[in-house]
Structure 1
């Protein structure tokens, strides 16, 4: 039987956790900071992502819970897709939700949580998704 010292056994757990974290991070290509390796980034972003672009993508990620990955709603969904729609159209709808002039179940509450600059960035991100 092989015996392992307490010091060696104590290193196993952090090593396993580090390997698990690396595997989990590797399984999340949408979170990659390299746009060339990230399928969820708009194809128009061939240059390295800026902080503003990464921030917009992160904020837009909240929309994917309902509107689908990268704003592509599943087939047959009653929730509209956002990917590739004109930025002005998306921004106008978000502003209408925010003002309470467009009927909604939850979007009016969600839209109120964003500043006008954030809405512009998020809608530009979805407009660029192809």
Structure 2
């Protein structure tokens, strides 16, 4: 019986910890996803030449732009293909994350 109680306590602790772990994973995943932008937009995501900066834009602007690339309303060489693979949740997370960069 003692063994069963320990397992139950461990399971409860795990379930209680899930929201925190999930939030941490989401933040880490978003940072990794945003890191893939560096290939074109530069290490600091400041853009160069014809490639625009991702810094200093509002979340609304970033969200609108990514959705425009995704649905084909806005055309670009690579962004349409990239944005087409983003879920709505990833677009939202990227919009918030990128809008916080100075």
TM-score, L = length of structure 2: 0.72
Deviation readout 1:79-115 (Å, 9 max, x if unpaired):
1000121111011010000000112111111101110
**1:38-63 Cα deviation digits (max 9, x unpaired):** xxxxxxxxxxx822211110011111
Superposition misfits of 4+ residues, deviation over 4 angstroms: none
**Of 79, 82, 102, which aligns to 2:51?**
79
Query: Paired residue for 1:100, among 48, 66, 72?
Result: 72
Structure 2: state its 5+ residue gaps. 1-22
Q: Is 2:93 aligned against 1:121?
A: yes
Larger CA Rg, structure 1 vs 2: 1
Q: Where does residue 33 of structure 2 map in the other structure?
A: 59
Q: Provide the aligned length of Structure 1 versus Structure 2.
A: 80
- The answer to which structure has the higher helix fraction is 2
**Cα distance in 1 between the residues matched to 2:43 and 2:92:** 19
CA distance in 2: counterparts of 1:51 and 1:84, whole angstroms:
25
Alpha-carbon deviations, 1:2-37, whole Å to 9, x = none? xxxxxxxxxxxxxxxxxxxxxxxxxxxxxxxxxxxx
Alignment partners' CA distance in 1, 2:44 and 2:90 = 17
User: Normalized against structure 1, the TM-score is what?
Assistant: 0.57
